[in-house]
Chains A and B, each alone.
Chain A
Amino acid sequence: MTTGGPLLRLAYLYPDLMNLYADRGNVTCLERRCAWRGIELRVSTVAWGDSIDEPHDIYVIGGGQDRQQRAASDGLTRRHADRIGRDVADGAAMLAVCGGYQLMGRSYRDADGTVMHGLGIFDMETVHPGAEVARCIGNIACRWRDAHLIGFENHGGRTYLGAGARPLAEVVKGFGNNGTDGGEGAVAGTAIGTYMHGSLLPKNPHLADHLLATALRRVAPEYSLSPLDDDVEWRAHRAALGIVGV
């Protein structure tokens, strides 16, 4: 299909392993927002054993159960580290959520003490304090730029950022990275990681468009995103904020 608009190539990483919280809603959201604007979004789903032969402009990965996350860590570090690292360094956008976010850091030590290696896109480490320690579960609201982000978090691991990464947002209600330093998620260059699902993008259209704008800067710097009628999305966003009292 030719739309006349620019072409964006999105790699959806490991939907077979990492879709615990219906994070594919983020891909659906980007697909629709591109279609409404005449941007051609070509989605390739990358399964565990696949190779990524071409460069991509957006990478999306969701959360998974412990066991699937171990397999994902193995696949990412052995097969896909070079390609993803190169594209992100070259300005490709990334949205990594929950378990996928943890694997984009340096390492994740899970509840059993198993250490999984990550891609190191974010300078951060994640440690699970043990199965007997309460998980971080609940609705979460954050400050992001001049607005809010709203979502739901459910994670055992606590993430600590190093000097090379900064938090994506500031927690207003909820736990965020570790429940203590008030930071949520991470930003490194054009990559974004977060614990927020919900799915995250549909109720946060400003973040969805931020990702698209980031990816477009690389392929069509002269193209500017046309505004959409996001009344439904913003009403849902505000209602969800209301539920957590923000």
Chain B
Amino acid sequence: MRRRLQRAAATAAGRAAAAVSRWTRRGGGTAISGLAAQAIAPQYVPDALNRLSSLVLVSGTNGKTTTTALIVAALRAAGHEVWTNPTGSNLERGIAAALVRRAAWHGGQRRERSAVGVFEMDEWALASLLPRVTPTLVVLLNLFRDQLDRYGEIDTTARAWRKVMAGLPDSATVLANADDPLVTSVAQVHSGRVDWFGSDGLGEAAVLDPWADVRGCPGCGEPLIYDAVTFAHLGRWRCPTGDLVRSQPDVAITAAQPRGIDGLELTLATDGRHSRVEAPLPGVYSAYNVAAAVAAARVLGIGSDAALDAVVATGPAFGRAEVISSPQAEVVILLTKNPTSANQVLDLLAGEPEPLDTLVLLNDGVADGEDVSWIWDVEFERLRPRRLTLGGRRALDLEVRVKYAGVRPSEGDVDVAPGIADPLDRALSRADGRLAVIATYTAMLAVRDVCVARGWTTPYWSNA
């Protein structure tokens, strides 16, 4: 009873904090309400998660928000009540906030027991939470170099994951990316069921790009041999000593044909059946997210046709190739967080039939990474924009990068303006139909804020 009261008090405190935050227009209250609840009941999150009928946790460097949204769509289409954190607030306090919104005010458990929880988790938050919960399914998407000043080396992240994998109960299923050798080295530690998603027959080059993060076997350290590379260090790899063996994917991407920034045609092979779909999600990287979601649905007992139908009906998550209509142009916001995601976005733009008006925004907040060195591993040499505008707090770093990449817009000179609203306005005023906005995390949120303030879209947390 005492615990239930504590829980009810924590929920109430969290809701009050969220209300104040929204009322004062400080934001969606996605973090503050979680902090308030956790302050009153420190075990608020694991307690609540362990009461759900099943629990799915999704982690990895890139694709967490999208994959989580796709799994949620598949579950909801199958009639499940789903609790999730769609705002991308993926630390423990973000999950606390999502729970605060859903929990019964009296601290009771009836509603939790019929719901499935699907939560995206920050890589380090997963390592900290996993020993305290009993998940049904843990989805491991990929590990890329990302914000080294905050996360440290990816070998360190992989080591932390292996440690918690060793303690994961056999009742949990792990779903992992077979194309990522580092993720494979983590998933293989699990003694229970491991399912795999990955590619089969995809990718032509067998040579890693100079910016790829993993080159040696995570086990023995010998250089890996690639029979095919899809992008970054993902592909069909082999360890020369046989120290680590790639698993055959249960859900395999057998074809992926990008359609510029609008979408992707892909074929998935599951249990001997091939299904071809057109997804409204761009880039080969999206094929991995779709494959992960279909494989997750399969573990949760949802057929792949039903899962694919739900995926196709799901548009991109906020800021991830999200299209916002402004009076001057269609704004396509493309979140980039690290060399891998930025190079994937440049790949998308290169696939467009005509050069696009392009705005690149680089911020150096804690959530972006204060170190902006990574832009030198982004292949701006491939950028062929119509007009090019640069902005954000580190706009001048971008200007140097673009100068050394020799980027030549087909119209006008490179335009540089610090900040967010000013470069956006300058880019929009000269845009021809469509403006691609490549933005780091806080810059992406800030651009959305400008679009919200002008009534072009709704806040990202309003659908939460």
Is B148 among interface residues, defined by CB-CB distance under 8 A? yes
Task: Given the known inter-chain contacts A198-B373, A236-B399, please indicate yes or no for A22 contacting B149, CB distance below 8 A.
Answer: no
Q: Does A138 contact B (CB under 8 A)?
A: yes
Docked Cα-Cα span, A32 to B154, in Å, equals 31
- State whether A20 touches B210 (Cβ < 8 A): no
**Using an 8 Å CB-CB cutoff, how does the interface string of A122-165 with B read, 1 for contact, 0 for none?**
00000000000001011100000000000010100000000000
Contact indicator B373/A197 (Cβ below 8 Å)? yes
Whether B153 pairs with A236 at a CB distance below 8 angstroms is no
Which among B152, B211, B216, B403 is the interface contact of A19 at CB below 8 angstroms? Answer: B211
User: Contact at B373–A152, with CB atoms within 8 Å?
Assistant: yes
* Choice from B155, B396, B406 contacting A239 with Cβ under 8 Å: B396
Smallest beta-carbon distance B142→chain A, Å: 17
- Interface flag for A78 (CB, 8 Å): no
Tell whether, in the assembled complex, residue B155 and residue A67 are in contact, meaning their CB atoms are under 8 Å apart: yes
When distances are taken between beta carbons in the complex, the residues of chain B under 8 Å from A235 are: 396, 399
**Residue A21 at the B interface, CB < 8 A?**
yes
Min C-beta distance of A231 to chain B, whole Å: 10
Q: Quick check: is B1 within 8 A (CB to CB) of the other chain?
A: no
A154 to B370, CA, bound (A): 11
A139 CA to B210 CA, complexed, in Å: 25
Kindly state the separation between the CA atoms of A67 and B404 in the bound complex, as whole angstroms.
31
B397:A203 contact, CB within 8 angstroms: yes
With both beta carbons as reference points, the residue of chain A lying nearest to B406 in the complex is identified as A32
User: Do most interface residues of chain A lie in helix, strand or loop, or is the interface mixed?
Assistant: mixed
Contacts of B211 in A (CB 8 A): 19, 22, 24
Q: Nearest B residue to A152 by beta-carbon distance?
A: B371
* 0 or 1 for each of A3-36: is its CB under 8 Å from B? (1 = yes): 0000000000001110111111100110010000
Closest to A68 in B: B216
B221 contacts across to A, CB distance below 8 A: 67, 71
Q: Do residues A21 and B148 form an inter-chain contact, with CB atoms below 8 A?
A: yes
Residue of A nearest to B218 (CB): A67
- B397 lies within 8 A of A22 (CB): no
Task: Tell me the chain A residues, 190-246 only, with Cβ under 8 Å from chain B.
Answer: 197-199, 202-203, 232-233, 235-236, 239-240, 243
- Residues in B with CB closer than 8 Å to A29 are 404
| CB pairs A–B below 8 angstroms (7 shown) | A19-B210, A24-B377, A67-B221, A197-B373, A232-B396, A232-B403, A239-B397
Which A positions have Cβ atoms within 8 angstroms of B? 15-17, 19-25, 28-29, 32, 48, 65-68, 71, 135, 137-139, 152, 154, 197-199, 202-203, 232-233, 235-236, 239-240, 243
Binding site for A on B (CB under 8 A): 145, 148-149, 152-155, 210-211, 215-216, 221, 223, 339, 364, 370-377, 393-394, 396-397, 399-401, 403-404, 406
